[in-house]
Structure 1
């Protein structure tokens, strides 16, 4: 398999996590997320301290620490799919200095569709299983297939909260999209349709 270096961008609900995992499995790549990289390297010493110092205090890990952790993860990978980083323009500019990307793919989904996807999620409070009122329904409405508990909507999946998450995304992360568009590196792919449909479109970009 080719050692592709792929960055997947898109708003909350666009399907980045799903598609990143599929790409990693298909092409035998490392799936690198900011959260995983921080958890796996909590005690890594940087000029600004360890991630654990911030995480244990419930504080946001500062960009310089995140940058060092992510770059360390990239250096250990022959090929990778990067998901959830960079989140702002400073991180994007840092990444451009540290590695060359083969593909920067942006999953484009209309906001109303994102709201439907995110507000339709239902979770099991007992075992953590995830469902969706349209795309991934349990056998019995409102009841977990795994353990039989009543499904709930998380507080951060209400429409008001979802639209605020999308506003924050636009404010912080859309400049990242423009950064790669200005560089001529961005490939926009429709994120609408089934996960299989979207994956086929991404594969067309990677292989052609």
Structure 2
């Protein structure tokens, strides 16, 4: 078969970004995220305008425009790992019209674990490298290993904000998870443990899908 089409779902902090990059490398796939696709095509003309018009104004990019950008990104890829889309049922239905999925993985992680992961994240103010106070510490506390910049906690990584992000995710995206579960294509993956342990579970599912 052709290269697999893989969709990763899960709440903020579940590890989708880390695992999708590793999957892309392992199977030679395109790593497609909504943010990257919008930035790569920010001047693409659509009936809704260009992504740049919304991004530069700090406004939410409408679903119709996001759909067009994702379609463009997927059409230029043989196999792909899709991360960060669809975020609602309308987008999920649109996705089914433009592509076929070989594997849909949902990362199951407890809320307490998600809060620990997200509130412990630290970001370099200069180069943007990510660390964690427990799981991925820099050699010198508060200092980036890559460039020596200062590490800080993002405003949206405080406990109060994290819990609100998880609530919004549950409200908007949980129906997407149920949509794929009802279709019988969803595979729930234990998202807790080390990144290597989770990656082993993920690659097993994708390898099985590739063999079918």
TM-score range, shorter chain: over 0.9
Please list every run of 5 or more consecutive structure 2 residues that lacks an aligned counterpart in the other structure. Answer: none
Q: Aligned partners of 2:62, 2:22: CA distance in 1, in Å?
A: 30
Aligned to 2:168: 168
Could you say what secondary structure the match of 1:131 adopts?
strand
Q: Is the 8 A contact 2:31 2:82 kept in 1?
A: yes
- Most deviating of 175-184 and 41-50: 41-50
Aligned to 1:132: 132
Deviation at 1:147, TM superposition (A): 3.9
Deviation beyond 4 Å, 4+ runs, structure 1? none
Q: Is the 8 A contact 1:4 1:80 kept in 2?
A: yes
**2:107 aligned with 1:122, yes or no?**
no
Aligned to 2:17: 17
TM-score by length of 2: 0.94
Deviation at 1:151, TM superposition (A): 2.4
Aligned to 2:70: 70
Deviation at 1:69, TM superposition (A): 0.8
Aligned to 2:185: 185
Aligned to 2:6: 6
TM-score by length of 1: 0.96
Aligned to 2:46: 46
Aligned to 1:196: 196
**1:115-153 deviations in Å (ceiling 9; x for gaps):** 000000112223322211111111222333234444221
Q: Is the 8 A contact 1:2 1:27 kept in 2?
A: no
Aligned to 1:55: 55
Please list every run of 5 or more consecutive structure 1 residues that lacks an aligned counterpart in the other structure. Answer: none
Aligned in 2, Cα 1:127/1:75: closer, same or farther, shift over 3 Å? closer
Aligned Cα root-mean-square deviation (Å): 1.3
Aligned to 2:155: 155
**1:31-73 deviations in Å (ceiling 9; x for gaps):** 0000111111111111221111211221111001100110111
Aligned in 2, Cα 1:71/1:127: closer, same or farther, shift over 3 Å? closer
Q: Aligned partners of 1:142, 1:187: CA distance in 2, in Å?
A: 38
Could you say what secondary structure the match of 1:52 adopts?
helix
